[in-house]
């Protein structure tokens, strides 16, 4: 397969931005909005997110299997990308605009139904999009380049959108903190919808030229089939390296769910940073992103992907512990001291380097495992593999969100609570919960990553065997 043009590569990479729009909303604002602004309990908010993510356990593998067997004049991937992408983008509006006057139970139902619909459309869009990425190249190193471009675009959206929200949209009114004003979230919902929709259309248009070069369905069966989905999942899970990566995703997904749900609580109440300071965190995030992309490219030429993934996981575990742990042990000054904000910058740079590096390597490694699976079974199962990995990650994040919501209730942080008004005991609970759970789970992900057995030389042998079996496809 020939090298991608710059237009094809970056159009595909831009297609990762809608997922980051979703992450920016759910990581930074959704649970905080429904609990602190709308008055929903942490248990209900966490449960709604958990239900929506658990629904992905059904939809992700079904869509992945369907995408692998789809036959159309526009290929296997582009029709579902467009079919799911447009309604997914529009769902950000009702997510942040529930009807007024709802009871807590009705608000819980609204949040749950909107979140389920949004994530269903996201699945229809994102699983085929991810699968297409593994089909764009068969080269060990070019796959990392494609993954790096994709993660770059994702991080740009993930950095910029919250910064724009906190810096421009979430403005205070009188004595009210801007993070506690409902109308600000409505505006944020419309901005999220617009950005997601535009980037989806760019991805579809810019990658239309690769359709004739992508693999076609190897199965004559088409349509949605539960039995075929189960068979495909069994086939995928027969691969040792894939099972190990699933274990790593299980641990890391739960850690990410806890961390992402508590992030705005920690920034607002634990550290008492202002909205301007939180918006300013885009700078260390950008620095960490540039470092991650530079370091990953250079280290990728010297070390196997499994080694880099293990190192990134260990880095995440260490970084989650040192900063918050130092405060809990009394090694840092009180909030408002000028040293705290620069230390937060350091923590973010180190965290972003580890997380972005893990994302780049993980995407590229999955494409290599798919080659291993093709050699063993004779089938290309990009949709199934990425669906299985994605649903594990999202479901465990949902469980982490549920647990974090319970912790918010236990910490007794009431709706409309202003920064500085939370009891010290509640903040201590939040801090220790973050350090212990996130640190331990990230270390478990490191242990799983060390068990992966698929290096550069192994992949080279696999590609040679595939080329010998099918010279025309190799060309």
Task: Check if the beta carbon of residue 248 is closer than 8 Å to that of residue 361.
Answer: no
DSSP class of 332: S
Locate the domains of the chain by residue range.
Answer: 6-209+224-474
pLDDT per residue as tens, the chain (475 positions):
557 788 989 999 999 999 989 988 887 788 889 988 998 988 888 888 888 877 877 787 788 778 877 888 888 888 999 999 999 999 999 999 999 989 999 999 999 999 999 999 999 999 899 888 878 877 777 777 888 888 888 888 887 888 888 888 988 777 778 888 989 999 999 999 999 999 999 999 999 888 888 877 665 555 555 666 677 777 777 889 888 888 887 787 777 667 766 777 788 888 888 888 888 888 888 888 888 878 887 887 788 888 888 888 888 888 878 888 888 888 988 888 999 999 999 988 988 888 878 877 877 788 788 888 888 887 766 667 777 666 666 666 666 667 767 777 777 777 767 777 778 888 888 888 888 888 888 889 899 989 988 888 888 888 888 888 766 544 4
Query: What rounded mean pLDDT belongs to the chain?
Result: 83
For residues 204 and 78, the answer to whether their CB atoms sit within 8 Å is: yes
Question: What does 408-468 look like in DSSP terms, one character per residue?
Answer: HHHTT--TTPPTT-S-HHHHHHHHHHIIIIIHHHHHHHHHHHTT----HHHHHHHHHHHHH
115/92 Cα distance (integer angstroms)? 9
How many other CB atoms are there within 10 angstroms of residue 385's CB atom? 28
Alpha carbons 208 and 448: distance in angstroms, whole number: 38
Contact 79, 67 (CB under 8 A): no
The owner of tokens 């939040």 is 430
Q: Please state whether 259 falls in left (phi above 0), alpha (psi between -120 and 50) or beta.
A: alpha
pLDDT in tens, 401-420: 677 677 777 777 777 677 77
CATH class of 6-209+224-474: mainly alpha
Percent helix, strand, coil in the chain (nearest 5)?
80, 0, 20
pTM above threshold 0.75: no
**Alpha carbon 134 to its chain's center:** 17
- Rounded to the nearest 5°, which phi and psi values hold at 239? -85, 120
In three state form, how does the secondary structure of 56-101 look?
Answer: HHHHHHHHHHHHHHCCCCCCCCHHHHHHHHHHHHHCHHHHCCCCCC
């Amino acid at each position: 397969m020939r090298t991608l043009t710059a237009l094809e590569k970056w159009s595909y990479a831009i297609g990762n931005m809608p997922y980051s729009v979703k992450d920016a909303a759910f990581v930074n604002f959704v649970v905080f909005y429904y609990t602190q602004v709308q008055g929903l309990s942490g248990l209900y908010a966490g449960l709604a997110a958990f239900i929506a993510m658990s629904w992905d356990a059904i939809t992700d593998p079904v869509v992945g299997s369907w995408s692998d067997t789809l036959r159309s004049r526009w290929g296997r991937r582009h029709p579902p990308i467009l079919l799911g992408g447009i309604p997914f983008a529009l769902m950000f509006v009702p997510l942040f605009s529930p009807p007024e006057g709802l009871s807590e139970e009705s608000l819980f139902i609204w949040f749950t139904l909107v979140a389920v619909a949004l994530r269903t459309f996201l699945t229809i869009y994102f699983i085929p999009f991810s699968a297409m990425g593994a089909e764009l190249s068969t080269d060990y190193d070019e796959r990392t380049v494609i993954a790096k471009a994709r993660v770059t675009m994702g991080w740009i959206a993930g950095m910029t959108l919250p910064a724009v929200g906190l810096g421009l949209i979430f403005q205070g009114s009188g004595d009210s903190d801007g993070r506690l004003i409902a109308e600000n979230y409505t505006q944020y919902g419309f901005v999220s919808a617009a950005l997601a929709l535009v980037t989806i259309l760019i991805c579809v248009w810019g990658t239309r030229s690769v359709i004739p070069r992508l693999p076609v369905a190897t199965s004559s069966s088409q349509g949605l089939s539960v039995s075929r989905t189960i068979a495909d999942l069994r086939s995928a899970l027969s691969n040792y390296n894939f099972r190990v990566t699933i274990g790593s995703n299980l641990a890391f997904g739960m850690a990410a769910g806890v961390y992402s749900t508590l992030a705005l609580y920690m920034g607002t109440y634990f550290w008492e940073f202002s909205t301007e300071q939180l918006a300013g965190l885009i700078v260390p995030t950008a620095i960490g992103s540039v470092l991650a992309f530079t370091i990953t490219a250079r280290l990728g030429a010297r070390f196997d992907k499994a080694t880099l993934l293990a190192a990134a996981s260990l880095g995440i575990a260490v970084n989650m512990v040192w900063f918050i742990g130092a405060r809990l042990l009394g090694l840092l000054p009180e909030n408002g001291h000028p040293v705290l904000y620069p230390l937060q910058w350091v923590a973010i740079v180190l965290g972003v380097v580890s997380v972005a590096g893990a994302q780049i390597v993980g995407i590229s490694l999955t494409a290599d495992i798919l080659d291993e699976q093709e050699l063993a079974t004779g089938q290309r199962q990009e949709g199934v593999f990425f669906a299985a990995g994605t649903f594990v990650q999202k479901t465990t994040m949902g469980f982490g969100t549920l647990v974090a919501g319970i912790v918010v209730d236990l910490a007794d942080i009431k709706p409309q609570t202003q920064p500085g008004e939370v009891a010290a005991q509640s903040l201590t609970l939040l801090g220790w919960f973050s350090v212990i759970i996130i640190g331990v789970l990230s270390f478990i992900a490191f242990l799983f990553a060390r068990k992966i057995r698929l290096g550069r030389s192994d992949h080279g042998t696999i590609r040679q065997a595939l080329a010998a079996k099918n010279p025309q496809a190799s060309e």
